[in-house]
Structure 1
């Protein structure tokens, strides 16, 4: 009896332990599959279609969103059909009188998705014909970003009957397809005829080109769709829709005012309407849409600018109140930073920069614009022998906050740079603190070389751009019409590079975008096939014939 009691206690303890070790189920893998159609009534691609109601059975419960914008029927119907969900079934009541011998396509866009994970059923269509056959013509192609050459995913290629260019702006497309991850599209079940084709990057998913940040592409010519399969490449570009305007003009501290515009100030003329003998200059920000006005007139309580843009009539006089010098100007040093990430050299306050690019100038960016520099207060020596060198030291002509030290740095050398206190004076009379840098340059074997032969057989100049993979422009060169040119790119660090050539048809030295209303295409950009990978201590030969 006692033995049975012991066994009973052991069993209860095991049962409690088992319950305590229970874990929550993981729930399985995430559902990534959208609803799939199982059956159609009438069947998909039916001919002699004569009913008013369509039923589509799906394999799971689903939801519909934004039916009004997402569902497009071509050719368009006079009345909006009624679309509703009943269980796993989609019911479409057409409520229209259909044309004889006509193929209709119902494209559901992104309106159908599952309930749990919102997985979208893309490029789903229901096709029927009131005649004896289904229109079976198609057009395929791809959409790319003209500035990068990258395939444009999730853009829409859209077709409209030729003859009325306004249809694109006032109505939904007759036919459309969405591009896949490779930028490709196929539009099926098209009626034979002439069409205008466009591509849009539809930001608000309404099939209209109606937002300033939406990009557009269009074909110069009418597309004839017949028994021959058609293919086309469409290049997305952004129109210059934003009109220039003055956003704000304000002083932020003594000697500094900022004037902000709606877009790049390339075509803005701005004049300071004050004492011309005071130290002053304009600084442009990196995006080019904001100008900073620097000055050191301690008696200036208000300064006026004349601003002109767009046309000769757009002239604005702006008065900006100044801060007095003693109100906010409390700094007693003009600080700066170098164009590198130095590390501390042991316990020393000296800064160490290793792996310095031999062809790179040293840039020091100051808090305030510089007025003068004293080159004898810069001590620069080479290697352990402490041989004094004399690089070119100057204030940047476009941005007086930048000081450059230009020198033909040698392979694998060590340099010591010491900048004394008060080696520079800014426009407010402030000087710098002393600082020292140790620099170790790369070796010549660390670099690669590209010898590039290009033939421009075109009747207009090309702007040949040499860029890093991230589209950072490294060098640009004009290749004149009908010429052969050889270029050597040396001292290249191992990396991936891109070559592209801009068709500078108007010979203005820059790329120009397009304009839909004027039927003006953007200037063509040609890309050298693939990326170019450089290796250390390696020289490569490339050829490119642009016919």
Structure 2
């Protein structure tokens, strides 16, 4: 692994990745980055009244250029530098006229590598077109607006106004999400951060971004104590997914509300009974295609039509009709129904082919069968039962397209209330509408929207460790909303509580959640 080395003169050379195979000539592997020779740098670093259009750096060894179009940056970005190589000397030039009385910093970030091991160098060269070097600094941390995690390798820019696309000054964030600006001119700037996906140093509408509504006045060295939060704006109306789940369902996912849309697959239109909305932007359509390989679907509404297509494989066409359980595990809580589902709508059921057994003594359990759409519920008296076994014979259910179900067997443990825990949440320190999310292993187990009382209860919890997240749901749409650049609305505030709440069987615990600083 390469080592970090600093040089005594003002040019900074930083060694970065170098994990390449050495030569076979023997001797120790070269782990030293090429060093610029201070006396041979022309013009000298921190030159005043700079009026040229080139800078040359001579190194202490033969070097190679590495993608100069991407690795050379001039800040402020008033010119597009290029580079040429002659033996040990790199010359950076530009054609544009630089602005008067301005301090510039030229970065060569990995532009220069040695020819053997690939050790590279970061050079920071400073000059001014005026008679002084600007010396103010500003630093800020960039974080993800939802996860609150630092964002590495993003751009933070200082802009003339809030609607500017190209920054006057820019800096790239490190692993801690920190962006450091040096050699700044005193003034008023708008601060924006973004994920520069296409590496053009311009904030694009679709890129993850964040901004300060109020400008920052830089007339001293400033370390901003408030992180800048970025998020990806909602993209325009788009279908995210269209897939077939054999033998009788199509699923459509979108980034917009599908609840008032019309659906069509090939020539098939759908009634309300043939549609299930899993969420407002996710829908299941019951339809068994004919023998075609490519199936097209159409989503229409608000004067627009989205056209989709998916491929039906030979394996899909041969998929039998099978049951699946809606339980997340093979445990049935007192608050849960014993429900099975199919990927096709149900036409008829032969209840004589359903057998429910008490696994303790193999005795039959009296039960009833209820069904709706594609779901079947098995209803029985659970008193004193610890485990049951359900056996369904082949052909017990007929789908609307005439297909018969395969045989199915499953064993379910019957749980009682005292095997679960309860958490009472007090969030009365909040005053705005909030979503309270209960998390386990980073996944949302349950969530609820609180508009006024700011107290809620999570019952029937499996013993384990839980955490909480609160979202200030300003528009009360029961989901987190990212930044809206058009309206200048910031992403909704998210509070993640890292303290673990341990839930035990037959226990009740109280949790108080307050806004975090």
User: Which residue in the other structure is 1:225 paired with?
Assistant: 218
Equivalent in the alignment of 2:262: 270
Alignment of 1:25-104 (within 5 A): 39=38, 40-47=41-48, 49=50, 52-58=53-59, 61-77=62-78, 80-94=80-94, 98-104=98-104
Q: 1:189 aligns with which of 183, 196, 204?
A: 183
**1:116-127 equivalences in 2 (<5 Å):** 121=121, 124-127=123-126
Give 1 or 2 for the bigger CA radius of gyration: 1
Structure 1 pair 252/463, CA: closer, same or farther in 2 (3 Å)?
Answer: closer
Is it true that 1:314 corresponds to 2:304 in the alignment?
yes
Q: TM-score, normalised by structure 1?
A: 0.70
Contact 2:72–2:81 (CA under 8 A) maintained in structure 1 = no
1:492 aligned partner? 462
Tell me how far 1:462 sits from its aligned partner: 0.7
Query: CA separation of 1:435/1:292 partners in 2, compared to 1, >3 Å: closer, same or farther?
Result: closer
Distance 1:409 1:32 in 2: 71
Deviation at 1:392, TM superposition (A): 8.0
d(CA) in 2 for partners of 1:332 and 1:308?
30
Does 2:493 match 1:532? no
Does residue 230 of structure 2 align to residue 236 of structure 1?
yes
In structure 2, do the counterparts of structure 1 residues 49 and 408 end up closer, same or farther at CA, with 3 Å as the change threshold? Answer: farther
Indicate yes or no: 2:417 matched with 1:463.
no
Contact 1:462 1:480 in 2 (8 A): yes
Aligned residues of 2:324 and 2:340 also touching (Cα < 8 A): yes
| Displacement after TM superposition at 1:33 (Å) | 7.6
Aligned equivalents of 2:184, 2:273: Cα separation in 1 = 65
- TM-score, with normalisation over the residues of structure 2? 0.73
Q: CA deviation at 1:233?
A: 1.8
Alpha carbons 1:361, 1:407 under 8 Å: kept = no
2:323 counterpart of 1:336: yes
Aligned length: 482
Q: CA deviation at 1:410?
A: 8.7
Give the Cα–Cα distance (whole angstroms) in 2 for the partners of residues 247 and 489 of structure 1.
34
Q: Provide the residue aligned with 2:390 in structure 1.
A: 417
Is the contact made by 2:259 and 2:281 (CA closer than 8 Å) also made in structure 1? no
Instruction: Find the counterpart in structure 1 of residue 199 from structure 2.
Output: 205
Q: For residue 104 of structure 1, report the CA deviation from its aligned partner.
A: 1.1
Give 1:176 deviation, angstroms. 1.8
The alpha carbon displacement at 1:464 in A equals 1.3
Match of 1:511 in 2: 480
Contact 1:420–1:434 (Cα < 8 Å) also in 2: yes
**Separation in 2, partners of 1:134, 1:275:** 72
Supply the distance in 1 between the matched residues of 2:235 and 2:273 (Cα, whole angstroms).
Answer: 33
Q: Would the aligned equivalents of 2:237 and 2:256 in 1 still touch at CA under 8 Å?
A: no
Give the deviation of 1:281 after TM superposition: 0.9
Structure 1 residues 295-323: Cα deviation after superposition (integer angstroms, max 9, x where no partner): 79x9xxxx9998533x3x3368x999xx9
Note the C-alpha offset of 1:32. 8.2
Alignment of 1:239-250 (within 5 A): 239-244=233-238
Give the CA RMSD over aligned residues: 5.0
- SS of the counterpart of 2:464? coil
Select the residue among 191, 209, 212 that pairs with 1:216: 209
Alignment partner of 1:478 out of 449, 464, 470: 449
- Give unpaired runs (5+ residues) of structure 1: 1-23, 342-352
Residue range with higher mean Cα deviation, 145-154 or 266-275:
266-275
**Residue number in structure 2 paired with 1:18:** none
Cα deviation, residue 121, structure 1: 4.9
Counterpart selection for 1:281 from 251, 268, 274: 274
Deviation at 1:29, TM superposition (A): 10
Q: Render the CA deviation track for 1:93-126: whole Å, top value 9, x for unaligned.
A: 355655444211223456455656766656x532
Contact 1:70 1:206 in 2 (8 A): no
